[in-house]
């Protein structure tokens, strides 16, 4: 059957439904219970990370996936956090555990791909502020550093993605984080000549200092 086809890039039925932005098909495939919600393609991308990479204008497919992940975690009584959260208070831990996309360090849920990028990295790359906001409210890490040393803010700055930069700042990203070359996102944007992005950083810095 076509439903069970996996192509040469490792894209399974869930990935194909997402590529076509077919929310009804995605819901049907997940509902039948025959497909792995966390199956990775050849780039190590689960359906959710792949959906972030596709960055469709709406969030219907993404919200279906997040809802399914939430249900899965509740069913499996997932209340364990990795050592990444060992230094935070109990109340903060409880809040984090209530969010469906918490803890990218837990490989069980395939929240990062082969490059160590999460959904917010791809929202930043695609200048998709609606996805930055949505994923941040779901608990995705706005400051996660990928295997190349880039946080989402570096990717947004490098592309001159003004809307994504603004969304990341609004979601309290760390503007001081440095990439593998020890550059802040401001420096990255400045080197590329993105004056509007630099202006955003300056305004945000002034607000935080007041």
Q: What is the pLDDT along the chain (210 residues), one digit of tens a residue?
A: 444 566 767 788 999 999 999 999 999 999 998 899 999 999 999 999 999 999 999 999 999 999 999 888 877 655 555 565 566 565 545 555 567 787 676 777 889 999 999 999 999 999 999 999 999 999 999 999 999 999 999 999 999 999 999 999 999 999 999 999 999 999 999 999 999 999 999 999 876 544
Q: What is the pLDDT of residue 87?
A: 60
Reported residue count of the chain is 210
Q: Say which CATH number the domain at 174 has.
A: 1.25.40.20
Residue appearing with tokens 């495939």: 29
pTM of the model: 0.86
List, in order, residues 6 or more apart from 166 with CB less than 8 Å away. 129, 200
Domain boundary (61, 95, 114) is at 114
- Determine the structural domain holding residue 89 and report its residue range: 1-114
**2 and 99 part of one domain:** yes
**72 and 148 part of one domain:** no
List, in order, residues 6 or more apart from 42 with CB less than 8 Å away. 9, 10
**95 and 30 part of one domain:** yes
Query: In terms of C-beta density within 10 A (0-12 exposed, 13-18 middle, 19 or more buried), how is residue 164 classed?
Result: buried
Q: How many structural domains comprise the chain?
A: 2
- For the CA atoms of 174, 55, 73, 45, what is the dihedral angle to 10 degrees? -90
Q: What is the pLDDT of residue 72?
A: 87
Cα–Cα nearest to 153, from 171, 130, 134:
171
Rounded Cα distance, 128 and 130, in Å: 5
Domain boundary (114, 142, 158) is at 114
Please name the helix (run of DSSP H) or strand (run of DSSP E) that holds residue 114, with its range, or none.
none
């Amino acid at each position: 059957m076509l439903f069970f086809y996996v192509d040469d890039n490792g894209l399974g039925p869930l990935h194909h439904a997402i590529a076509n932005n077919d929310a009804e098909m995605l819901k049907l495939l997940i509902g039948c219970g025959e497909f792995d919600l966390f199956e990775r393609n050849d780039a190590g991308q689960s359906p959710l990370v792949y959906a972030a990479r596709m960055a469709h204008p709406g969030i219907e497919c993404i919200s279906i996936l997040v809802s399914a992940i939430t249900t899965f975690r509740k069913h499996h009584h997932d209340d364990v956090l990795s050592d990444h959260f060992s230094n935070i208070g109990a109340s903060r831990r409880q809040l984090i555990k209530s969010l469906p996309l918490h803890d990218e360090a837990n490989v069980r849920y395939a929240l990062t791909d082969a490059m160590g990028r999460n959904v917010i990295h791809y929202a930043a790359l695609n200048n998709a502020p609606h996805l930055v906001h949505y994923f941040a409210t779901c608990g995705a890490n706005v400051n996660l550093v990928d295997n190349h040393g880039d946080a989402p803010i570096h990717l947004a700055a490098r592309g001159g993605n003004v809307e994504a930069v603004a969304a990341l700042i609004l979601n309290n990203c760390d503007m001081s984080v440095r990439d593998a070359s020890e550059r802040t996102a401001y420096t990255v944007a400045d080197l590329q000549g993105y004056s509007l992005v630099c202006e955003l950083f300056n305004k945000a810095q002034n607000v935080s200092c007041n």
